Amino acid sequence: MLLLVTVLLIIVLISRITEESIKIPSTLSIIIYAFVLSYFFPHLFNITHNEFDEILYLMLPVILLPDVLNLSIKELKENAKEIFYLAFIAVVASIGIAILVTPYILPEYQWSFGVLIALFSMLMATDAITVASIMSKFKLPEYLKVYAESESLFNDVTALIIFYFVAIPLLNGGEVSAMSLNITLFKVLFLSIVIGIGVATLGYLSIKILKNPLDQFIILYLVVIVSFLLAEHFHIAGILSIVASVLTFKSFIQKEIRDNLTTQNFNDIQNSILQLIKKVPTITKKEFREYKKEAMFIGIFANAIVFIIISNIIIFEDLIIYAVEIFTIFALTTLIRFGAIFSMIKTLHLPVRWAQTLTLAGSKGALTIIMSHSLPLEFIYREMFIAIVIGNVLLSTFIYTGFLILHIYLNKKNYAQDIVTYDNITTKQMEQNDYVKSLVTVLEKDEETNAYNKPFIEDILEKEISRAQRYKVDFSILTFKVLANEEDIKQLKEIAKVINSKIRLNDNFGKLDSEKYLILTANTSLSGAIVLAEKITHKIKKLHNIQLYFGVTQMSDTDTLESIYEKLEDALQRALLENGQKIEVEV
């Protein structure tokens, strides 16, 4: 066992080095390294199908936790229609189209309706583990990432319901009516969400009692694991329960943090248990941010274990026997997926390249393999379907990811423009094609302020983060928001002149949106960044009716682009809420 753990850690480490060196997602290199090891040392990983299923169920909550924690509740609400289309309508329609087409492209098989539903319900769902891992490696518009990651989390629920409550009963000789299917759908969705919300509420109340950070971190994991186990025990959607529990838990924490920002009056506590509980503080924003980082590190390791195991249940002899069926089904599902996504992209008047990216983000993964293992043992096509599923998992992982890397590389400038164009508007504005068409072509720098536009300043920020972490040097970041009316906002050029005169040659000035800006100060301590903010604020006072509010932070060894943005946003919000205080710090 000790040897196995050592080998796992070595594979994870080498794959991370590969990712840093040649920018290949670690999911690909992990599968390759693990397969090579298992080929030369076949007894090193001795995993059966049942053991694979058990390990995946153990790892699934751990892997999904950081992905769901990073989901924005606001973005989910804003994009609810698109996510519903991708996660439900597109899945159902795609399965229907595949059922109609398959008899013509594989006429040698006389598959029944139930057999076809079983096959394509397994293959139409994208894998949240794989998609989140791959999409996080690329610089793409936030809306595009939200579509891909949300779809991968929620369409699993649709596929699982169709597979377990429609396909399996049909394979076993049963019947499924429209009425029973609707009742089952309602029961699964309702109970999964109720379980998630109920467990999250108990977890939230528990962290008000247990103040030790380790205890609170354990509670966070228990919320995810218990909600998943309860849902699976009642044979409903465990993944949906995970999503519901984490989003509920997160919303409770965020609401309390917002309330603490706006009021600090604890003297008017009413004499009720509910009010007393509400007034007991849970965790700070900083602690919650640290928990998210720790969950991400644990998730990376758990994700690596899953992909190592996948590489060791591959039977290449079966893949060769059913090669024609594997490639045929892969081509069919890819075309159907592109058609379903292209329809939505055209409706929203978004660039066609988004449809290509979303199609290539549709990797299959471990959950699809789990479903194939659930096929009845007496099912005549069981061996073939398992081979088709594993073959499609491998093809989607390698071919989709390879073409995705190439596609993004060839469209790098276009996606940089998309980040500026689409990240600052709402979904409703996306549908107004004239708004998008009227935008000026995006250049590297904003013409009005001479500040780097968002994709370029973020690229510089990521490089500075890597440099500071590698060489252990100070690196501080400032963000500021300009509050002014339309007449005074014309003085932005003057503000920009002040900033450019105060920063050094190795500092960088960037624009995030129409009101928010970023200043990167290399080799600068937190106190030095605060002094810079004070100098700028003092100089700006000479401009009438202009108010600048600053958020300042210093990078830590474990910070990422997302965590730095969170810290800056927290500091900026406090500055906006505080009377008279225009510079706030978050560490």
pLDDT digits (tens, 9 = 90+) for 511-520: 887 778 899 9
> Which of the four pLDDT bands, split at 50, 70 and 90, describes residue 236?
confident
Q: What angle do CA 87, 90, 96 make, to 5 degrees?
A: 130
Average pLDDT over residues 81-87: 92
With 0-12 / 13-18 / 19 or more C-beta atoms within 10 angstroms meaning exposed / middle / buried, residue 41 is exposed
β-strand partners of 554: 476
What pLDDT does 559 receive? 80
pLDDT at 269 over 60: no
pLDDT at 200 over 80: yes
What pLDDT does 438 receive? 39
3-state secondary structure of 577: helix
Range from 210-219, 472-481, 573-582 that averages highest in pLDDT: 472-481
Cα dist from 164 to 196, 288, 366, whole Å: 21, 36, 17
Of the candidates 68, 237, 224, which has an alpha carbon nearest to the alpha carbon of residue 146?
68
| 202 φ, ψ (degrees, to nearest 5) | -65, -40
Tokens of 525: 């301590």
What pLDDT does 265 receive? 44
Distance (Å, whole) CA 517 – CA 503: 14
pLDDT at 309 over 50: yes
| 521 φ, ψ (degrees, to nearest 5) | -115, 100
Cα dist from 462 to 77, 212, 299, whole Å: 29, 33, 22
Distance (Å, whole) CA 383 – CA 390: 11
The fraction of the chain above a pLDDT of 90, given in percent, is: 22
What pLDDT does 425 receive? 57
Computed over every residue of the chain, the mean pLDDT equals 81
DSSP collapsed to 3 states, 451-469: CECHHHHHHHHHHHHHHHH
What pLDDT does 428 receive? 53
Distance (Å, whole) CA 364 – CA 127: 5
> Which of the four pLDDT bands, split at 50, 70 and 90, describes residue 395?
very high
The fraction of the chain above a pLDDT of 70, given in percent, is: 86
> Which of the four pLDDT bands, split at 50, 70 and 90, describes residue 271?
very low
Of the candidates 258, 278, 294, 285, which has an alpha carbon nearest to the alpha carbon of residue 204?
278
pLDDT at 341 over 60: yes
Give me the sign of the Cα torsion angle 297, 302, 303, 308: positive
pLDDT at 460 over 60: yes
pLDDT digits (tens, 9 = 90+) for 143-182: 888 888 888 888 888 888 888 888 888 888 877 777 777 7
What pLDDT does 359 receive? 94
pLDDT at 37 over 90: no
Lowest mean pLDDT among 46-60, 104-118, 564-578: 46-60
Distance (Å, whole) CA 511 – CA 419: 12
Average pLDDT over residues 21-41: 76
Average pLDDT over residues 119-136: 78
Amino acid, single-letter form, for residue 354: W
> Which of the four pLDDT bands, split at 50, 70 and 90, describes residue 130?
low
pTM of the model: 0.74
What H or E segment, with its residue span, contains residue 382? helix 382-395
> Which of the four pLDDT bands, split at 50, 70 and 90, describes residue 441?
very low
pLDDT at 525 over 80: yes
Helix axes 285-311, 49-69, angle to 10 degrees: 150
What pLDDT does 353 receive? 93
What pLDDT does 93 receive? 94
